[in-house]
Amino acid sequence: MVSYRKRGNAWQYEISYKDIDGHYKKLRKSGFLLKSDAILAASKMQAEHPNLTTVQSGNESLVSYYRRWIKVYKQGAVTPITYNKYQNTAKHAAELFGNLKLKDLTKLIYQEKLNQFAQTHARRTVACFHKQLRACVLEALDEKIIISDPTRKAVVTGVERPKRPKVLSYQEWQRLITHLSPTKIEEMIIYLAAVTGMRYGEVVGLTPQDIDFQHRKISVNKAWDYKYKTGFMKTKTPSSVREITIDMTTAHKLQTYLSTFPATPHRPIFMTPQGHVFVSAEINHVLTDVLHALQIPRITFHGLRHTHASILLYKGVSVLSVSRRLGHSSITTTQSTYLHIIKELETQDQNRIISILEKATK
């Protein structure tokens, strides 16, 4: 097993192996300016050192190797949320493969376990599990710990979830926002997402100084880490930092809310008096109950963001303006996300063009 890490301004490789007596040993060398130089030197050392052949035996279990792989290559290199997904894959892999050694992993075994996982998970989840595990296996292949890729041409399946609407119609959206109370924290969180298209972390990360009632604007400049409870954090992307214009009704509702739940300047306005900030799952339960009471099809909290964007597009707001309001990194992101709506509007525009030309040429 070879691992690499940066020490100061230089890279180091560390090779773990068994000597001829079966004892674990390590070889380390540092001072490489580039990681690629360290990789090249480690490969050369493996080829030339007579005792390193035993490291290629593949006696380590798949799960053990995967856990070490994510610690070396992913920890600190990806966001905490993404790293948590890699750790979840490790848990699932442990349940499926147990102590199965790398050298004993075959294409048939891998496909059987992948099929087993697919029996209780959606295809998208299975695809993510396969992608992360395969990246690790390919690393073992590169290191010559295994001689073939047992994940090659694996077939990804999964449970077909019943399709649910992702957005509300204009009438359903209107019924929802008029029903929500500005004197209830959970409902005000839902309302603000529905009329601004803000992400959940952005909504619960708002503080009093982020709201400009005079110019009716909300400043999105941070988010709240509701998952790991570390407090304020940066927005998803630099382009997520933006100002969102709000209407008079929304401004009045926010004023009513803040008079009911006063907040200090640097405290999230949606933090309860007990110091609790709701996680998205809690608000999703409230949203489901409200929609059920109004006899509106269920959507997720994130569906409020999609609903907001869809309504603006259908009402003739330009894609550029919608993109900026949502805080997308580029207009391309908006176009790809709402391509079906844009195509529908394009068809309507073509009909309008023909109508204009026909009237002009009569």
Domain ranges of the chain: 1-49, 58-161, 170-344
What dihedral angle (degrees, nearest 10) is formed by the CA atoms of 267, 269, 274, 280? -110
Sign of CA dihedral 176, 182, 185, 188: positive
pTM: 0.65
Nearest CA among 72, 99, 92 for reference residue 133: 92
- Each residue's pLDDT, cut to its tens digit, for the chain (362 residues) gives 788 999 888 999 988 876 655 567 788 889 999 998 888 888 877 766 655 554 445 678 999 999 999 999 999 888 787 898 999 999 999 999 999 999 899 999 999 999 999 999 999 999 999 999 999 999 998 887 888 999 999 999 999 876 666 899 999 999 999 999 999 999 999 999 999 999 999 999 999 999 999 999 999 999 999 888 889 999 989 999 999 999 999 999 999 999 999 989 889 999 999 999 999 999 999 999 999 999 999 999 999 999 999 999 999 999 999 999 999 999 999 998 898 888 888 887 788 787 888 877 76
Query: Under CATH, to which class is 170-344 assigned?
Result: mainly alpha
Round to whole Å and give the CA distance between 66 and 147. 17
Judge if 58-161 and 170-344 fold alike in CATH terms. no
CB 39 within 8 A of CB 46: no
Distance in angstroms between the alpha carbons of the first and the last residue of the chain: 80
- Sign, Cα dihedral of 177, 315, 202, 285: positive
Question: What CATH architecture applies to the domain 58-161?
Answer: Orthogonal Bundle (1.10)
